[in-house]
Structure 1
Amino acid sequence: RDTAGKIEERNATMRAGAKDVSAKALSYAEKNVQSSLNYAQSLLKAKDLTEVMRLHSEYVQGQMRALAEQASEMGQAVSRAAMDAVKPKS
């Protein structure tokens, strides 16, 4: 194959990887916003300070788990995109 064709193929691979990473980031942002809205709704319905503290603790723990999972998945997606971009084409 000619060099221009190889460069274009590599660019297409990089764009596809970037699109996947961007889609994941948007999905995570949507989930995090929804989680925050749900948390705010639950706070509005709290009956006392004890319930507010419990809801806060549950929210923070859930967000920490979600963020750890999202960071791991995002790292894998970025790594996969980088590997695909440098993988020799036959």
Structure 2
Amino acid sequence: MSTDKTGFEVPEQMRDFAEKSVDQARKAFDDFMGATQKAVVNVEDSANAMQAGAADVNKKALTYAEEHVTAAFKFAQDLVKADNVEDMMKLQQDYLRNQMETLGEQTREFSNSATKAVQDATKAAQKK
């Protein structure tokens, strides 16, 4: 035990207690920082998985838009070549039917891509 100039003495037990408290606080802080770093990595992995999924959906959207524009131009070309009103009506019917079928397929593909992106992000978050 030491004595300072004022005559006040700090008991050894108080010093031990203070030292243990500081050590425990340091360990708690280190644990907190480790958990925080792990959470940041999980968020980054999830974000990367979502970005990859979003990129896939964006590519699909552009491909679908191109398909629709191509189909519209083909319809317009066929329409111009039609000989009579009946042929024009048949072309329009076929075009609309094909577009509705295509939209249904594309909607299913979009849904599947979005679901996969969410699942991948969830797996990435749970992996850590």
CA drift at 1:23:
0.7
* Deviations, residues 16-70 of structure 1 (Å, cap 9, x unaligned): 0110111111111110110001000100101110110110111011001100000
Task: State the number of aligned residues.
Answer: 90
Report the Cα distance in structure 1 between the residues aligned to 2:121 and 2:111, rounded to whole angstroms.
15
CA drift at 1:86:
1.3
CA drift at 1:5:
2.2
Report the Cα distance in structure 1 between the residues aligned to 2:104 and 2:46, rounded to whole angstroms.
31
Report the Cα distance in structure 2 between the residues aligned to 1:89 and 1:26, rounded to whole angstroms.
32
- Corresponding residue for 2:44? 8
Asked whether 1:46 is paired with 2:82, we answer yes
- Unmatched runs of 5 consecutive residues or more in structure 1: none
1:1-90 aligned within 5 A: 2-87=38-123, 88-90=126-128
CA drift at 1:15:
0.6
What amino acid is aligned across from residue 48 of structure 1 in structure 2?
Answer: N
- Unmatched runs of 5 consecutive residues or more in structure 2: 1-36
CA drift at 1:3:
2.8
Of all paired residues, the percent bearing the same amino acid is: 37
Report the Cα distance in structure 2 between the residues aligned to 1:70 and 1:5, rounded to whole angstroms.
34
Report the Cα distance in structure 1 between the residues aligned to 2:41 and 2:119, rounded to whole angstroms.
19
Normalization by structure 1: what TM-score?
0.92
Is the contact made by 2:54 and 2:117 (CA closer than 8 Å) also made in structure 1?
yes
Is the contact made by 2:45 and 2:121 (CA closer than 8 Å) also made in structure 1?
no
CA drift at 1:4:
2.4
Extract structure 1 runs of 4+ deviating beyond 4 A. Answer: none
Normalization by structure 2: what TM-score?
0.66
- Corresponding residue for 2:32? none
